[in-house]
Amino acid sequence: MVNMTLVNSSSGVLNQMLRSGGIDLNLHSENRDQIFRDLIDKVAYLQKRLDAKETLFKALTEREKLCSTGLGDGVALPHTRNTISGLADYPVVVFGRHHRGIPYGALDGAPVHLLFLLIAPTVSQHLQILARLTRLLRKPDIRQALLRAGSPEEVLDIFDEAEIVLAKP
């Protein structure tokens, strides 16, 4: 289970959630719905729960009908409007990167390259994680570092460094 406070200086909250979710630096699908399926497929505890995977997919597509989760600057944070009962016991973030970018309906109309699927068991955790991610992803240097990252370990290091800076008063 992921603790919502920094556990220690070498592993931040987002790092733990990414380790639980997964990282895919080579997304190839050409549309948003297939990207959702690709990201959902990275969630280990959903692998044998086809019904849960479909429920999550439908919730993500319904959420997009309300307003795009594409934030702009090539970033999207797909998440559900409400938590889904019984889907997650702990918060998970899946990071995916698409080199060419995909049409997503982002607020700025730009293609999306960096995607962060968020699954959380409570509304409180959901909102805390969204706030933490958006705060970090507003920084151009973090976005650029994620676009250049050569390995999942490098992505984890980027978030560790960013969270250490974020935690400083």
Closest C-alpha to 114, from 84, 81, 157, 70? 70
Scanning the chain, the segments in alpha helix (DSSP H) are 13-21, 32-41, 50-66, 123-137, 140-148, 152-167
Where does residue 128 rank: exposed (0-12), middle (13-18), buried (19+ CB within 10 A)? middle
Q: Is 79 a catalytic residue?
A: yes
Query: Token pair for residue 117?
Result: 């699927």
Quote the CA–CA distance of 131 and 127 in Å, as a whole number: 6
The one catalytic residue in 79, 98, 113, 126 is 79
What's the rounded Cα separation, in Å, for the pair 82 and 163? 26
Catalytic residues: 79
